[in-house]
Amino acid sequence: MIPFLIKSVISGLLIAAASTLAKRYPGAGALVASLPLVSVLGMMWLWHEKPDAANMAAHAGATFWYVLPSLPMFLLIPALLRHGISFWPALAAGCALTIVLYATVTWLGPRFGLPL
């Protein structure tokens, strides 16, 4: 239970730092938020618990393919906000698009030999 709490605190502090920084410096906050901190921390926690190179390689490769369908959300949300859509509907639309794209990648990926 203690390792889980440590992971949670460290991960939460990084998210809090990014959002706090973004209040004053939106670009800098975006830079911190865009860093693959969740992926890197996840790989560190995974390696600590199961130091298996093949498993880590599979995880890192699959992470790459799952990052791609999340990127359009970061184009859709600002476009909707700039066109007068309020934040919550814009966020919901971005999340819905990401879910659809994740499902598409999950369904199509194996058909094209992607190791997901």
Total structural domains within the chain: 2
Give Cβ neighbours of residue 19 (< 8 Å, ≥ 6 apart). Answer: 29, 33
Is there a single domain that holds both residue 63 and residue 101? yes
Is there a single domain that holds both residue 111 and residue 81? yes
Is there a single domain that holds both residue 38 and residue 59? no
Is there a single domain that holds both residue 41 and residue 57? no
Is there a single domain that holds both residue 85 and residue 39? no
Confidence of residue 2 (pLDDT cuts 50, 70, 90): confident
CA–CA dist 64, 13 (Å, integer): 24
Is there a single domain that holds both residue 5 and residue 23? yes
Which of 33, 51, 69 is where one domain is finished? Answer: 51
Task: Tell which wins on pLDDT, 96 or 9.
Answer: 96
CA–CA dist 55, 114 (Å, integer): 15
Q: For residue 6, give its domain range.
A: 1-51
48-87 pLDDT, tens digit per residue, is 999 999 999 999 999 999 999 999 999 999 999 999 999 9
Structure tokens at 73: 């959300």
Which ranges in 68-116 belong to alpha helices (H)? 73-82, 87-108
pTM of the model: 0.78
